[in-house]
Structure 1
Amino acid sequence: MIETRVVDSDAEREDALAVRHAVFVEEQGVDEDLEYDEHDSDAVHVVAYDGDEAVGAARLRDLEDGVGKVERVAVLEPRRGEGIGRKLMAVLERRARADGFDELKLHSQIHAADFYTDLEYEQYGEAFEEAGIPHVKMRKML
């Protein structure tokens, strides 16, 4: 059974970073200098576990007054399609509401935009490239 929770220890934070490394750096070829940034220290991190194995991760940070930004949503490749991403997003959205955010924004890789649309995010603006990967901007009112 998958357990998804807000990170509250250094070990859990390292697990979240390890999932991101596997997905973004190893699988997608994102440069490590782009993947890990100054926001990691103050963002809220969420990690999904199957037993003791970290299988998914995401983070939430304060973007501007009343607006949070969802970033680095990652699920290990063999575990995709099991609903882990939805569980990560549910935890992030609950936390965002608890933190007083009225809106969430994110940059979705184009291939994942339907996932967020199913979660009631709407696309705005034109497609753009980030870390060498095509993305679209999306948002949701909470």
Structure 2
Amino acid sequence: MISFHEIPHLSPAWREVLIHRDRISRRPLGINLSDEDTVNESSQRHFVLRDGSHIIAGLISCPPENKTIKLRQMWVHEDQQGNGMGSRLLTEISEQFAREGIERLRLHARVSVRSFYEKCGYLAEGRIFTEVGIPHIIMERQLTR
């Protein structure tokens, strides 16, 4: 059974997620997740999907600014990609933050997955820019209560 959880910073689950983030999001780009990438994470919230005891997807949210939250470092385990887990994670996080009074979610999407985020209700804003060596675009989604 798939379940949605917030996990504490520096917990064993958080440490497990670091391994997934590095393997799935960074190593394919020829870089490693660094201490610089995690330096501010104590002030950020960490969310995952679990299938039993296995963490299969996750993302991080930055502290809110003007009822907007930036999402970052979303990943889905290789065995679960294409099975709707990314969409499920975004749905769960949207519902969570809507209950908390957040009005908008923002993220930097890799251009290669822009259409995925559009299917999840996100709209592109601005120009394409380079982040971690690859093209990205800012995307936002309005939340409703």
Pairwise TM-score range, normalised by the shorter structure? 0.7 to 0.9
Aligned to 2:66: 65
For structure 1, list consecutive stretches of 5 or more residues without a partner in the other structure: none
Does 2:140 correspond to 1:134? no
Whether the 8 Å contact between 2:21 and 2:33 is mirrored in structure 1 is no
Give, as a single letter, the amino acid of the residue that structure 2 aligns with 1:64. Answer: E
Larger deviation: 90-99 or 113-122?
90-99
Give, as a single letter, the amino acid of the residue that structure 2 aligns with 1:2. Answer: I
The offset of 1:71, in angstroms, is: 0.7
Output the CA distance in 2 between the equivalents of 1:21 and 1:133: 16
Q: How large is the RMSD of aligned CA atoms in angstroms?
A: 1.9
Output the CA distance in 2 between the equivalents of 1:4 and 1:18: 19
Aligned to 2:19: 18
Give, as a single letter, the amino acid of the residue that structure 1 aligns with 2:86. Answer: G
Q: Provide, for residues 29-76 of structure 1, a one-character-per-residue CA deviation record: whole Å limited to 9, x for no partner.
A: 334237723331111111122222222110111252211001111012
Aligned to 1:85: 86
Aligned to 1:122: 123
CA gap 1:17/1:122 in 2 versus in 1, 3 angstroms: same
Aligned to 2:7: 7
Q: Provide, for residues 64-94 of structure 1, a one-character-per-residue CA deviation record: whole Å limited to 9, x for no partner.
A: 2211001111012232001111121122212
Output the CA distance in 1 between the equivalents of 2:89 and 2:35: 22
The offset of 1:104, in angstroms, is: 0.9
The offset of 1:8, in angstroms, is: 4.2
SS of match in other structure, 1:73 = strand
Scaled by the length of structure 2, the TM-score of the pair is 0.86
Aligned length: 142
Scaled by the length of structure 1, the TM-score of the pair is 0.88
